[in-house]
Amino acid sequence: MREKDFVAGEYSGPFLDGKVTYRSPSNIALVKYWGKKEHQVPANPSVSFTLDTSATTTTLSYTKLAAPGKDFSFELLFEGKPKPDFKPKIHTFFSRIAPYMPFLKSYHFVIETSNSFPHSSGIASSASGMSALALCLMHLEKELQPGMDEIYFKTKASFLARLGSGSAARSITGPLMQWGQHQDTEGSSDLYAITYPHKIHEVFEGYQDTILLVDKGQKQVSSTVGHNLMHGHPFAEQRFKQAHDNLSELRRVFAEGDLPKFIEIVESEALTLHAMMMSSLPYFMLMKPNTLHIINKIWEFRAATKLHVCFTLDAGANVHVLYPASEKELILQFIKDELIVYCENGQYLCDQIGKGAVAL
Ligand code: DP6
């Protein structure tokens, strides 16, 4: 689909008041999105595991206005309380999606949102939050366009979510999602994510992600600022090419269940992401000493046991520990015995690969 396919046509359904709830998961990138062009177009394609228990639940209540307003009309409640500091982000989101959803100024919205993960855990909620809101808005648009099919619904939800936060495009379905145009994947697009269409070996069923909360504080540099530092970055072109190559290689790895190669690509992607931050101008570092202690412990344990445990990182100090379900018992014990000590207040979250967002 092209951009113009997402501009809404005539609305034939009635403009009713209503309410809808979606629960949308977070996701963890294996090949990282880092660097973007205008309009949230990624500089390279990425692929992610959709998560299961780490999720945002959003209820959107909508009331038709007597006449369309000059500006967007909405209230925002986070975990039951008004949250004025989230409002500018939602306002920007509405402004970006308004060309594709002309009904937005005809309603007053109440957005009630909550996360399954603890407040200020250092886990980014933009992917799960923006995708949940995009899905709620698509529910309303489907009422106005009753003939809309399921594929268009999900594709446009991903398209809209991307305009809120790039990684949110990948939180619609599962178990793996690919976002960004790539030569080996017909139907892949910079405008939205698709369900990973190639073969996935059964070793990835129920794949585990234990998230170690190393640092729950506010990040010094936001993802948005970090992405922008890829403009004029001395290693940018090589990095974008590497992401394309890693996606090509992962196609065979996913199909064959080649875990040693999977581990190599995933860890290399995580370290490259942070290497890009460290070699930007201005340079910055989001890993903490405990991030490095955990990485070294994982490497020692893997060398000693030959178990298939590896790590990845997002744009922060927390560590995602990835491993197959069949090795869960031994690896979870290792995590509890040797890694939790490096977490802030001993906090960690157990998650696994998931199927995507659901309407409640
Ligand atoms: C390191 O999606 O948070 O997690 O598009 O500016 O909202 P914006 O950025 P965001 O960036 C995520 C970066 C990442 C890698 C990834 O998820 O692919």
Q: What is the pLDDT of residue 10?
A: 87
Q: What is the pLDDT of residue 262?
A: 99
Q: Measured in angstroms, how far is the CA atom of residue 30 from the centroid of ligand 1? A: 12
Q: Pick from 96, 167, 178, 314 the residue to mutate for probing ligand 1's pocket: most ligand atoms within 8 Å of its CB.
A: 167
pTM for this model (two decimals): 0.97
Q: Measured in angstroms, how far is the CA atom of residue 166 from the centroid of ligand 1? A: 6
Q: Pick from 26, 27, 31, 33 the residue to mutate for probing ligand 1's pocket: most ligand atoms within 8 Å of its CB.
A: 33
pLDDT at 280 over 70: yes
pLDDT at 13 over 90: no
Q: What is the pLDDT of residue 121?
A: 67
Q: Measured in angstroms, how far is the CA atom of residue 145 from the centroid of ligand 1? A: 31
The mean pLDDT value of the chain amounts to: 96
Q: Please state the atom number of ligand 1 nearest to the C-alpha of residue 40.
A: 5
Q: Measured in angstroms, how far is the CA atom of residue 45 from the centroid of ligand 1? A: 12
Q: Please state the atom number of ligand 1 nearest to the C-alpha of residue 27.
A: 17
Q: Please state the atom number of ligand 1 nearest to the C-alpha of residue 227.
A: 6
Nearest protein Cα to ligand 1, atom 5: 166
Q: 69-106, pLDDT tens digit by residue? A: 999 999 999 999 999 988 999 999 999 999 999 999 99
Q: What is the pLDDT of residue 216?
A: 79
Q: 104-136, pLDDT tens digit by residue? A: 999 999 999 999 987 766 677 899 999 999 999
pLDDT at 297 over 70: yes
Q: How far is 272 from 1, CA to CA, in rounded Å?
A: 31
Q: Measured in angstroms, how far is the CA atom of residue 304 from the centroid of ligand 1? A: 34
pLDDT tier at 222 (50, 70, 90 boundaries)? confident
Q: Measured in angstroms, how far is the CA atom of residue 63 from the centroid of ligand 1? A: 32
Residues lining ligand 1, judged by CB closer than 6 Å? 29, 32-34, 40, 46, 124, 126, 165-167, 223-224, 227, 273, 314-315
pLDDT at 226 over 70: yes
Q: Which CATH class is domain 1-360?
A: alpha beta
Q: Measured in angstroms, how far is the CA atom of residue 170 from the centroid of ligand 1? A: 10
Q: Measured in angstroms, how far is the CA atom of residue 270 from the centroid of ligand 1? A: 13
Q: 180-214, pLDDT tens digit by residue? A: 999 999 999 999 999 999 999 999 999 999 999 99
